[in-house]
Amino acid sequence: RIVYVNGEYLPEENAKVSVFDRGFLFADGVYEVTSVLGGKLIDFAGHAKRLQRSLDELDMPAPDAMGDLLEIHRELLARNEIEDGLVYLQITRGAAADRDFAFPGDDVKPTLVLFTQSKPGLADSPAAKVGIKVISIEDIRWGRRDIKTVQLLYPSMGKMMAKKAGADDAWMIEDGFVTEGTSNNAYIVTGNKIVTRHLGNEILHGITRAAVLRFAREAQMEVEERAFTIDEAKEADEAFITSASTFVMPVVNIDGTDLGDATPGPVAARLREIYLDESR
């Protein structure tokens, strides 16, 4: 695989980042994941915009190549012959001379890394046909989840808790209300209404979420952006998640409670179809 590091396209085994990189020492970095279907980047502009916002919120300098990101994505897709898959992009505050909590001066340049992951048939995932199971766990992450940082230890732990419980993912709960999944936004459908948490610092502002809500409204489906409890979710007609890597993925069981007959619901199925149709 060819990866991109600070202006160079290199075989992955030759790509190197300093041990003093602040991404490594302090999780002082931000990232984006953009999906690729049939060689086409899905919603690149949305991801680029959110990336700039993450940098701004953390007062992190943009790399010199910030204006060339689309070109770099395309070049990597071509060099790695990716039809379906993902592009991962990470920017860190760079490698300072020493380990120091204070941010370095502007002599230290940010680190920019991109790599691809090939996933043939990404849009035809078998999980979309049967749905996934989630468990609920407490949300103990920091208070700025709207910034897409690489501090992903708790979401990783949540994923492992789910696996251990025989489930696929975890929904995180704060004050009784669902915030989001470990790496996706969470939704329920009650009485034909699509309910998903309102935007704020408590969740990541999903690019897929924005597109799906827009398509839902265009299709005259009712959307309510408000917090919902895990108890309300267990009694919902349907549930689903959205993200760049799963698109729209039905949820059929929460904490061992089946939703309806435990098969993907019509609203989730329709939204998935619309999303894939409109984005490709």
- Fill in the per-residue mask, 199 to 228: x = in contact with ligand PDD (CB under 6 A), - = not in contact: -----x-xxxx-------------------
Stretch that binds ligand PDD, among 4-12, 91-99, 117-125, 179-187 (CB under 6 A): 179-187
Enumerate residues 6+ apart whose C-beta is below 8 A from 173. Answer: 136, 137, 138, 139, 179, 230
Stretch that binds ligand PDD, among 5-13, 181-189, 193-201, 253-261 (CB under 6 A): 181-189
Choose which of 90, 136, 183, 196 interacts with ligand PDD (CB under 6 A). 183
- When asked if residue 85 is in the footprint of ligand PDD (CB under 6 A), the reply is no
- When asked if residue 279 is in the footprint of ligand PDD (CB under 6 A), the reply is no
Nearest Cα residue to 94 out of 8, 18, 15: 18
CB of residue 179 to ligand PDD, shortest distance in Å = 9
CB of residue 184 to ligand PDD, shortest distance in Å = 5
Choose which of 33, 37, 41, 150 interacts with ligand PDD (CB under 6 A). 33
Choose which of 184, 196, 253, 279 interacts with ligand PDD (CB under 6 A). 184
Which residues are identified as catalytic? 148
3-state secondary structure the chain: CEEEECCEEEEHHHCCCCCCEHHHHHCCEEEEEEEEECCEECCHHHHHHHHHHHHHHCCCCCCHHHHHHHHHHHHHHHHCCCCCEEEEEEEECCECCCCCCCCCCCCCCCEEEEEEEECCCHHHCCHHHHCEEEEEEECCCCCCCCCCECCCHHHHHHHHHHHHCCCCEEEEEECCEEEEECCEEEEEEECCEEEECCCCCCCCCCHHHHHHHHHHHHCCCEEEECCCEHHHHHCCCEEEEEECCCEEEEEEEECCEECCCCCCCHHHHHHHHHHHHHHC
Choose which of 125, 190, 229, 245 interacts with ligand PDD (CB under 6 A). 245
- When asked if residue 180 is in the footprint of ligand PDD (CB under 6 A), the reply is yes
- When asked if residue 29 is in the footprint of ligand PDD (CB under 6 A), the reply is no
User: How many residues of this chain bind ligand PDD (CB under 6 A)?
Assistant: 14
- Fill in the per-residue mask, 127 to 166: x = in contact with ligand PDD (CB under 6 A), - = not in contact: ----------------------------------------
- When asked if residue 185 is in the footprint of ligand PDD (CB under 6 A), the reply is yes
CB of residue 120 to ligand PDD, shortest distance in Å = 18
Binding site for ligand PDD (CB under 6 A): 33, 180, 183-185, 204, 206-209, 242-245
